[in-house]
Amino acid sequence: MGIEVIVEGLTKSFGRQTVWQDVSLTLPPGEVSVLLGPSGTGKTVFLKSVIGLLKPERGRVLVNGVDMVNSPERDIYEVRKLFGLMFQDGALFGSMSLFDNIAFPLREHTRTKETKIRRIVMERMEMVGLLGAERKLPGEISGGMRKRAGLARALVLDPQIVLCDEPDSGLDPVRTSYLSQLLIDLNAQTDATMLIVTHNLDIAATVPDNMGMLFRRGLVAFGPREVLLTSEEPVVRQFLTGRREGPIGMSEEKDEATLAGELRYGAQLSGPPGPLPAQLEPSPGLPARSAVRRRQARVRELWDELPAPARAALGAAAAPGPGERA
Ligand SMILES: Nc1ncnc2c1ncn2[C@@H]1O[C@H](COP(=O)(O)OP(=O)(O)OP(=O)(O)O)[C@@H](O)[C@H]1O
């Protein structure tokens, strides 16, 4: 099972510019979480802070008992091995085949024999639907395939926490839908804790168990997806429904994929309260996600703190039973 990530009171500045302050949230083990936010709100800076590549001035990030902000570099380096990272641009080496790109972390960080490397790489390539493309160079394949190769590479060391930085950037809505399904399928197969940073509403509406949103130097909210999807907070409503009127201005403009997602989900979310967009299920033949059962138990514990619209969206079946209330 994936590992819990606890973020407490995190504040990050560059010189006099505060990117965000006092951010606290917990990524529940094995669940999929999405961090939304307009461009430039510091989502990438947040990911880099979680793995200890950037140093916030205040707060801590606890992973496996190690504080990724304040611990000695040696300890942070060890814990970083638990993470798989998928970067925005895939970050593949242009002169290496896909096979060699995906094998790279194994060759670089382990003493695994080539026969075993081959088995692991082929398994991961199969997971992301890239079998047959082993010999291709990154420049010879589509953007969607490059993303999937980046994801396969993030998975070769069997990470317990997977961080994806805008996995959808540059993808059309159809490819983004395939990618959304792939993220859920990978979670079903690995049970890793996943954090996806995005401003894509297709992913936000259909993939995560939990959602949060960064806006103007703060975390607006973080919690079960139903909390954000039913939130009355003006900035959250505007972001999720794509209205021009609201606190988000031109300087925090959205990209094409965001607008396409809004066409699909905006109407559903801005209309009168109704069923939320359904969360994706793993593809047929894959195991059920273990996170679902754990999340149900967690939601029952949280129940009394949840806003009424979120409880309504979760439905009476999610409520704690008579002797279960704290
Ligand atoms: N190393 C750095 N030095 C100085 N400023 C930085 C550095 N890295 C990021 N920033 C600033 O921090 C802010 C947040 O950047 P970040 O890339 O995290 O935003 P984002 O939410 O990921 O944006 P996008 O959605 O467009 O990728 C920006 O104003 C950026 O210029």
pLDDT in tens, 215-274: 888 998 899 999 988 888 877 877 777 665 556 665 555 555 565 565 556 555 555 555
Domain annotation covers residue 56:
yes
- Residue 99's pLDDT is 95
Smallest CA separation from ligand 1 atom 31, residue:
40
CA dist list (Å): 175 to 125, 151, 154: 17, 14, 19
Domain annotation covers residue 121:
no
Domain annotation covers residue 143:
no
- Residue 56's pLDDT is 96
Of 34, 43, 165, the one to substitute when testing ligand 1's pocket (max ligand atoms within 8 A of C-beta) is 43
- Residue 245's pLDDT is 58
Domain annotation covers residue 190:
yes
Terminal-to-terminal C-alpha distance of the chain: 26
Q: Which of 250, 231, 256 is nearest to 241 (CA)?
A: 231
Smallest CA separation from ligand 1 atom 5, residue:
14
ipTM summary value: 0.96
CA dist list (Å): 292 to 254, 284, 288: 31, 16, 8
* Domain harbouring 12, CATH code: 3.40.50.300
- What ligand 1 atom has the least distance to the C-alpha of 47? 18
Q: What number of residues does the chain have?
A: 326
- Residue 73's pLDDT is 92
Å from CA of 109 to ligand 1 middle: 29
Going across the sheet that includes 161-165, the strands are 83-86, 161-165, 193-197, 32-36, 210-215, 218-224
Domain annotation covers residue 142:
no
Domain annotation covers residue 130:
no
Q: At what angle do helices 98-109 and 143-155 cross, to 10 degrees?
A: 20
What is the domain range of residue 225?
5-82+159-324
Å from CA of 14 to ligand 1 middle: 9
Smallest CA separation from ligand 1 atom 29, residue:
40
How many angstroms separate the CA atoms of 263 and 158, rounded? 36
- Residue 115's pLDDT is 93
- Identify the segments of the chain with pLDDT beneath 70: 89-90, 242-274, 324-326
How many angstroms separate the CA atoms of 271 and 74, rounded? 52
Smallest CA separation from ligand 1 atom 18, residue:
42
- Residue 70's pLDDT is 94
pLDDT tens, position by position, 198-217:
888 888 889 999 999 998 88
Å from CA of 217 to ligand 1 middle: 12
Domain annotation covers residue 182:
yes
Residues 183 and 32: beta-carbon distance below 8 Å: yes
Please count the structural domains in the chain.
Answer: 1
- Residue 158's pLDDT is 86
How many angstroms separate the CA atoms of 173 and 165, rounded? 17
CA dist list (Å): 266 to 9, 33, 130, 245, 260: 32, 20, 33, 14, 10
Q: What is the largest CA-CA distance in the chain?
A: 62
Å from CA of 42 to ligand 1 middle: 5
Å from CA of 243 to ligand 1 middle: 25
Of 10, 11, 19, the one to substitute when testing ligand 1's pocket (max ligand atoms within 8 A of C-beta) is 19
Which protein residues are within 6 Å of ligand 1, measured from CB? 14, 19, 37, 39-45, 199
| 69, HSE (Cβ side, Cα atoms, 13 Å) | 20
How many angstroms separate the CA atoms of 26 and 218, rounded? 15
Domain annotation covers residue 153:
no
Rg (CA), the chain: 20
